[in-house]
Amino acid sequence: MDEIREEILSGFCRQQNQGRTVTCELEKTEKGFRISFVDCGYSGCMHKGSCLIADEIGKIISGSR
């Protein structure tokens, strides 16, 4: 059975210029976690490099959180 992990993250969204609470659903794979759902524009966000929410998602995916 696959493991599914849900994370609720909050922080400031530069794209929307406001505080956001983001729901992120991840599936465990052999290589770690992969995003199955996120209710923000994480994958195509132009501010991804400086976004604290994106940073947290990246830490979850890499296994450092």
Where do the structural domains in the chain lie, given as residue ranges? Answer: 4-62
pTM for the model stands at: 0.78
User: What CA–CA distance (Å, rounded) separates 14 from 7?
Assistant: 20
| Rounded percentage of the chain residues whose pLDDT exceeds 70 | 97
Given this model, what pLDDT does residue 7 score? Answer: 93
pLDDT, one tens digit per residue, over 10-20 is 999 888 899 99
Instruction: Considering only CA atoms, give the Rg of the chain.
Output: 12
Instruction: State the pLDDT at residue 23.
Output: 96
Chunk the chain into consecutive blocks of 10 residues (it has 65) and report each block's average pLDDT, rounded to whole numbers. Answer: 86 90 92 89 89 90 77
